[in-house]
Amino acid sequence: MITDAFLKEIPKTDVHLHLDGSLRLTTLIELAQKNNVALPFYDEENLRKTVFLDHYEDLPSYLRGFSYTCSVMQKAEDLTRISYELAQDCIAEGVRYIEVRFAPQLHMTELSFDEVLRAVNAGLLTAQEEFLQSDSVLIHQEPPFYYGIICCALRMFDEKSSGWYGPFFKNFIGDNPKEIYAFASYELARNAVRCRDELKIPIVGLDLAGSEHGYRAKDHTKAFLYGHHNLMRSTVHAGEAYHAASIFEALTDLHADRIGHALNLFDLQMLEDDYPEDYNLPPDKFLEHLINYIAERRLTIEACVSSNLQTRPDKTIKTHPIWNMFERKLSVTICTDNRLISNTSICKEMRLLVDTNPVLFNVKQIRRCCTYGFKRSFLSLPYLEKRSYVRECIDFFNRIATKHGLEEHL
């Protein structure tokens, strides 16, 4: 029997974890009061009833909470606190590696790009150093905790999205705003690489987020090619609210090492309804080639099940494509997306899957998902050290399974 204690104790990763969607609710309230940020309510119960729900009617209602969280994330000390608490919360449920992603440009009301990244890194680094000094790590009873930072570019935005975007609109000559989006992404990539190399901040990857329909990944090729040429890894939100062609472009145009969500990977009808004219293969052949390509290259999918169910009310846990991913032996790792917005954690995500289908999401599949998370992470250790760390985490998983009488299911 897979117990909550087992799920908590095994070493896990969360490589799709949005900083601005993962605050503690108590911290949001405290910071809003401190910084005179208006909230509809200043108590947890009413905010859970009105903003941060268990179920949302549509994507706009899901995204509403970010307007409040970003408003309290404009000062260095607040960013440091939020990052520190997030790492603590992950450590407390047995997560041993996280990749925290966010768009620095959305937190620059008072701070520079560098100051935002320094503040976030300070909180994560403090949490890491504290855990590395814990007795259980020092005597090698359990694996250390590490982290990386992913900088998010946006597929689209407007002049009011952030002060950082203002000059792009002011100095732009032309009538195609997509050129502004592309240039802003390039500037983000350039600054992310610079902060990694000059400031030694562990920025381990780039991401592209935002509305997929009408805002193609290929428009941001220059930015991600710059990252690629500077050996910066990448993960892209794709197939979350659009069809498989978005995933294809993320892999081929942006050199994505992982895919965020891929919710519509198997949806042939969605693909046929809006099939790109510049694609040569018939939709069904294209889709099968794409799925096989992802499988053979072990391109890992960051599955965020609760988030998907909340933004797509037409989906149910039983019809979620993660089961098809497991059956096709794709490389999948379990992630939270937004701990606050989705009211979830890695343990909750795993519990949901176990309770829904314990045959498919069994101990062996759980270990497989955890292993993919560690192996396909962007952890910035030298290769041999990372290899040793992954082995340590797998061995620790096996010991926990034995402790809970599950060794015969490995």
Q: Which residue has the tokens 């030298």?
A: 382
The CA distance from 37 to 200, in Å, is 33
Question: CB of 178 within 8 A of CB of 219?
Answer: yes
Would you state the torsion angle of the CA atoms of residues 338, 119, 376, 212, taken in this order, to the nearest 10 degrees?
50
Q: What is the pLDDT of residue 172?
A: 78
Task: Write down the pLDDT at residue 251.
Answer: 97
Structure tokens belonging to residue 35: 């910084």
> Residues 374-398: pLDDT tens digits?
999 999 999 999 999 999 999 999 9
Read off φ and ψ for residue 83, nearest 5 degrees: -65, -45
Stretches where the chain sits below pLDDT 50 are none
Report the pLDDT value the prediction gives residue 392, as an integer from 0 to 100.
Answer: 97
- Note whether 189 and 153 are within 8 A (CB): yes
pLDDT of residue 57: 83
What are 192's two structure tokens?
């992310």
pLDDT at 343: 96
Please state, rounded to an integer, the average pLDDT across all residues of the chain: 95
For position 239, what pLDDT does the model report? 96
Report d(CA 362, CA 368) in Å as an integer: 10
The structure's pTM equals 0.96
40: exposed, middle or buried (C-beta count within 10 Å: 0-12, 13-18, 19+)? exposed
Instruction: Give the H or E element holding residue 151.
Output: strand 146-154
DSSP 83-104: HHHHHHHHHHTTEEEEEEEE-G
* Structural domains of the chain sorted by starting position, each given as residue range(s) with its CATH number in brackets: 4-405 (3.20.20.140)
Cα separation, 148 vs 202, in Å, equals: 6
Tens-place pLDDT, residues 115-164: 999 999 999 999 999 999 999 999 989 999 999 999 999 999 988 888 88
CA separation for the pair 100, 317 (Å, rounded): 26
Structure-token pair, residue 226: 């710059």
Active site residue 240: yes
pLDDT of residue 74: 97
**Would you list the DSSP string of 224-268?**
HHHHHHTT-EEEEEESSSS-HHHHHHHHHTS--SEEEE-TTTT-H
Within 262-382, residue ranges assigned H as helices are 268-273, 283-296, 305-311, 322-327, 346-356, 363-375
Residue among 9, 212, 240, 302 flagged as catalytic:
240
List Cβ neighbours of 121 (8 Å cut-off, separation of 6 or more).
83, 149, 201, 202
